[in-house]
Amino acid sequence: MRYIHDHENWWQFRYDSGRIVNELGRVRAKQGQVMGRMLSLGFVSQDEAMLSNMSLELVRSSEIEGEILNLEEVRSSIARRLGIETAGLVPVSRYVEGVVEMQLDATQNYDKPLTHDRLFGWHNVLFPTGMSGLYRIDVGKYRSGVMQVVSGAMGKEKVHYQAPSPERVPAEMERFIAWVNNDEETDAVLKAAIAHLWFVSIHPFDDGNGRITRALTDMLLARSENCSKRFYSISAAIRVLQKEYYEVLERTQRGDGDITEWILWFLSCFEKALDSTEETLSSVKRKAEFWERHRDVSFNERQRKLLNMQFDGFFGKLTSSKWAKIAKCSSDTALNDINDLIAKGVLRKADEGGRSTNYILVE
């Protein structure tokens, strides 16, 4: 099997500009509209939208790799690092702090050059113990072994892709980094699409390539907007289309260097990410209107935390047992908090009762 990198000058990707130009123009126009709408919000609402989407970006990016992050921890870490005031900050694990540090370096410092050391730093924070699961890996440096993307049970593995040999990786990465830093002719969104495919095809690290690829994609999309504020999540869109994502990657990586299909898929996925800002905008407005409506009502810290979490999508139905668990209080205290909010007209019992008793916001 020949892979894309087996072709001479494989990095000189080909694509059909005629098929891409209209899609690219339309998506770029939507990108400008979305950024204009989001930047017209007040600073507090901008912070809220950015906090929600950056948190979602990291959680969904990890989910693609089969890893589940605590959304509340991610949100708390981002809020602290960006100086965003929010109720209910929680203790954060070392690993989550590292993942957030990588993402913020990629997006808040989007205009800084990409370097080998910067990538090694990102890799270090993803694997602070030097282990990936039960296995020790090369951390903070390029891989020294063969890299295959496989699926299936042991003994019945299917090889989807084999990356360039480890001896080739330093030179391949040198070429890639030079292109990221110096290419000014390629449209910036198109560049994000190409960089995503190029980096994941080199697969330079023992593990974490997918997460670093998506951080790089976010960095280049931030460059395309000349703005560090992130109002959409490309990883959330990829997560929804994960099967398609792997299929189009595999077809492209087994191809002869024509990446038209990949670029069109990426643009479609990016458009879905942009469309999701409507939901974010609606949530931010609902939250702002709620607190404005209740600005003269007194709430304790537990109540503020749990009410904010209702808007931020942390959990489904609100029950007294869930309240007690999240607020780390007794069942009696949780019920008192809830009954107090019912008396103030903030919550009401949902229609279903008995053992299914749960509460919803009065809006």
Q: What is the predicted pLDDT for the residue at 314? A: 58
| Least trusted range by pLDDT, from 139-148, 161-170, 182-191, 349-358 | 349-358
Q: Which residue has the higher pLDDT, 154 or 34?
A: 34
Instruction: Give the residue among 317, 233, 237, 221 at the shortest CA–CA distance from 280.
Output: 233
% pLDDT > 90, the chain: 60
Q: Which residue has the higher pLDDT, 39 or 152?
A: 39
Q: Which residue has the higher pLDDT, 117 or 301?
A: 117
Confidence category of residue 313, pLDDT binned at 50, 70, 90 = low
Please give the Cα distance from 61 to 244 (Å, whole number).
Answer: 15
Q: What is the pLDDT of residues 249-291, one digit of tens each?
A: 999 999 999 999 999 999 999 999 999 888 777 777 788 788 8
Please give the Cα distance from 132 to 7 (Å, whole number).
Answer: 32
Q: What is the pLDDT of residues 212-258, one digit of tens each?
A: 999 999 999 999 999 999 999 999 999 999 999 999 999 999 999 99
Please give the Cα distance from 60 to 66 (Å, whole number).
Answer: 10
Three-class secondary structure of residue 147 per DSSP: coil
- In order of start, what are the domains of the chain with their CATH numbers? 4-277 (1.10.3290.10), 294-361 (1.10.10.10)
Q: What is the predicted pLDDT for the residue at 131? A: 84
In this model, does residue 87 exceed pLDDT 90? no
Q: What is the predicted pLDDT for the residue at 201? A: 97
The DSSP annotation for 166-215 comes to GGGHHHHHHHHHHHHHH--SS-HHHHHHHHHHHHHHH--SSS-HHHHHHH
In this model, does residue 354 exceed pLDDT 90? no
Q: Is residue 77 within 8 Å of 59, Cβ to Cβ?
A: no
Report the chain's mean pLDDT, rounded to a whole number. 90
Please give the Cα distance from 24 to 21 (Å, whole number).
Answer: 5
In this model, does residue 347 exceed pLDDT 60? yes
Buried-exposed string 74-105: b where 16+ CB fall within 10 A, e elsewhere: bbbbbbeebebebebbeebeebbbbbbbbbbb
Going by DSSP bridges, is the β-strand pair 148-151/347-349 parallel, antiparallel, or unpaired? unpaired
- What is the average per-residue pLDDT within 102-123? 97
Please give the Cα distance from 12 to 114 (Å, whole number).
Answer: 20
| Least trusted range by pLDDT, from 120-124, 174-178, 324-328 | 324-328
For the CA atoms of the chain, what is the radius of gyration? 23
- Residue 348 is classified by DSSP as E
Three-class secondary structure of residue 248 per DSSP: helix
Q: What is the pLDDT of residues 167-210, one digit of tens each?
A: 999 999 999 999 999 999 999 999 999 999 999 999 999 999 99
